[in-house]
């Protein structure tokens, strides 16, 4: 059902994009708009990961510079049946993480210093498993495409103002152009956010199955959500269009689970994970969400980036 909803929403976003192009220049305008979007998507396909990692000042770490973190990612990637992604660390006090890359063979997982310093190893495993689920589902490419199309719609809608009320009456008119400039980007944003929320639920479930314990991720989500309201992420505040990439909305003004939210409400996500607990394939946990497993003993709070 999640994949079906995502396909419907993506089709609606594409249809909206084509409709804006048609209103501006008829059939030829729609084709030109499609060509521009295709070129933009090709550029984003090859360069989006480098752009966003650079935007957040992320630096790559390996088994020599961050052995504990690198080993954890490698173990979880093996459980997920994925190639080992590149691992990046962001010097940011807000606990958060995201994944990027055009496909599983060219993927990266980026976590903040605040995340590795504030979570137990089991909780960190849940977060990384969630990001690996995004990679396994090709969500990183999907969200790049939706963000690109949404941006192209906004650009086209503003460009359409110059064609309003032209003398051959083929344009949408001044009032129509004004409405299109306001409503088209708004509609594109709503569809983009709806796709993002749908993919978060799917990544939560897959991430729980990768790490083997839903409550590890649930506990991590509660901690990250609480900290996101208190610790600002200045890079995200300067680039709010990237907020949908993170496991929890990094913006300080996050609302509830509504049309304008980039993520489902954390309470709803935790409730969905709780329903998975006790199903076949998951180990039982203690009341605090801890359990013994392949990830080691019940660990105390982490005091540094590498444990």
Asked if pLDDT for residue 175 goes beyond 70, the answer is no
| pLDDT score at 300 | 41
Q: CA-CA distance, 114 to 96, in Å (whole number)?
A: 7
Q: Is a pLDDT exceeding 80 seen at residue 125? A: yes
Residues 257, 270 contacting (CB under 8 angstroms): no
pLDDT at position 271 over 50: yes
For residue 107, the tally of other CB atoms under 10 A from its CB is 25
Domain limits for position 244: 49-151+185-276
The answer to whether residue 89 is domain-embedded is yes
The answer to whether the Cα torsion of 34, 179, 187, 40 is positive or negative is positive
The strand order across the sheet containing 86-90 reads 59-61, 86-90, 107-112, 97-101
Does 217 reside within a domain? yes
Average pLDDT, the chain: 78
Which helix (DSSP H) or strand (DSSP E) does residue 32 occupy? helix 2-55
**Structure-token match 């790049």, residue found:** 144
Residue 140 pLDDT: 82
Asked whether residue 270 is assigned to any structural domain, the reply reads: yes
What integer is the mean pLDDT of 153-172? 56
* Confidence class for position 131, pLDDT limits 50, 70, 90: very high
Specify the range with the lowest mean pLDDT, choosing from 7-11, 112-116, 191-195, 253-257: 253-257
Nearest CA to 170 among 37, 30, 12, 38? Answer: 30
Distance CA 260, CA 256 (A): 8
Find the helix or strand (DSSP H, E) in which 110 lies. strand 107-112
Residue 164 lies in a domain: no
- Using DSSP bridges, classify how beta strands 86-90 and 59-61 pair: parallel, antiparallel or unpaired: antiparallel
Write down the pLDDT at residue 170.
53
Percent of the chain scoring above 90 in pLDDT = 39
Per the model's pLDDT, the better-predicted residue between 71 and 146 turns out to be 71
Interatomic CA distance for residues 249 and 224, integer angstroms: 9
The pLDDT value given to residue 92: 95
Q: Does residue 281 lie within any of the structural domains?
A: no
Task: Write down the pLDDT at residue 141.
Answer: 77
Q: For position 199, what pLDDT does the model report?
A: 85
Q: What is the pLDDT of residue 35?
A: 77
Residue where the block lists tokens 């977060």: 127
Say whether pLDDT at 85 is over 90.
yes
- DSSP structure string for 123-160: HHHHHHHHHHHHHHTTHHHHHHHHHHHHHHHHHHHHHG
37 or 117: whose pLDDT is higher? 117
pTM of the model: 0.75
Q: Residues 88-109: what's their mean pLDDT? A: 94
- Would you state the pLDDT for residue 217? 97
> Is residue 7 situated within a structural domain?
no
**19 domain-assigned:** no
From 122, 123, 131, 200, the catalytic residue: 131
**131 in active site:** yes
- The pLDDT-based confidence of 255 (bands split at 50, 70, 90) is very low
Predicted confidence at residue 128, as pLDDT, reads 98
Residue 214 has a pLDDT of 95
| Tally of domains within the chain | 1
Q: Write the CATH number for 261.
A: 3.30.2010.10
C-alpha span between 181 and 177 (Å, rounded): 6
C-alpha to C-alpha distance for 140 and 199, rounded to whole angstroms: 10
**Residue 191 confidence (pLDDT):** 66
Instruction: Answer whether residue 95 is part of any domain.
Output: yes
pLDDT class of 29 with cuts at 50, 70, 90: low
């Amino acid at each position: 059902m999640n994949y079906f909803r995502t396909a419907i929403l993506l089709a609606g976003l594409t249809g909206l994009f084509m409709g804006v192009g048609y209103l501006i220049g008829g059939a030829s305008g729609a084709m030109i708009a499609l060509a521009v979007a295709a070129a933009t998507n090709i550029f984003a396909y090859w360069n989006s990961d480098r752009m966003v990692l650079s935007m957040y000042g992320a630096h790559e770490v390996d088994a020599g510079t961050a052995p504990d973190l690198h080993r954890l990612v490698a173990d979880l990637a093996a459980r997920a049946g994925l190639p080992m992604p590149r691992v990046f660390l962001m010097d940011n006090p807000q606990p958060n993480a995201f994944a990027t890359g055009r496909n599983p063979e060219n993927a990266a997982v980026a976590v903040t210093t605040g995340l590795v310093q504030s979570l137990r190893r089991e909780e960190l495993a849940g977060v990384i498993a969630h990001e690996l689920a995004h990679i396994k589902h090709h969500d990183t490419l999907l969200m790049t495409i939706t963000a690109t199309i949404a941006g192209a719609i906004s650009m086209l809608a503003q460009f359409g103002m110059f064609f309003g009320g032209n003398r051959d009456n083929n344009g949408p008119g001044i009032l129509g152009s004004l409405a299109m400039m306001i409503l088209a980007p708004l509609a594109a944003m709503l569809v983009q956010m709806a796709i993002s929320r749908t993919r978060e639920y799917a990544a939560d479930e897959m991430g729980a199955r990768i790490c083997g314990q839903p409550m590890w991720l649930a506990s991590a989500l509660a901690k990250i959500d609480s900290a996101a309201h208190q610790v600002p992420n200045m890079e995200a505040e300067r680039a709010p269009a990237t907020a949908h990439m993170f496991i929890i909305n990094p913006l300080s003004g996050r609302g509830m689970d509504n049309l304008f939210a980039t993520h489902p409400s954390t309470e709803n996500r935790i409730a969905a994970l709780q329903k998975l607990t006790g199903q076949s394939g998951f180990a039982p946990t203690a009341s605090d969400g801890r359990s013994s497993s392949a990830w080691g003993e019940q660990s105390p709070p982490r005091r540094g980036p590498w444990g």
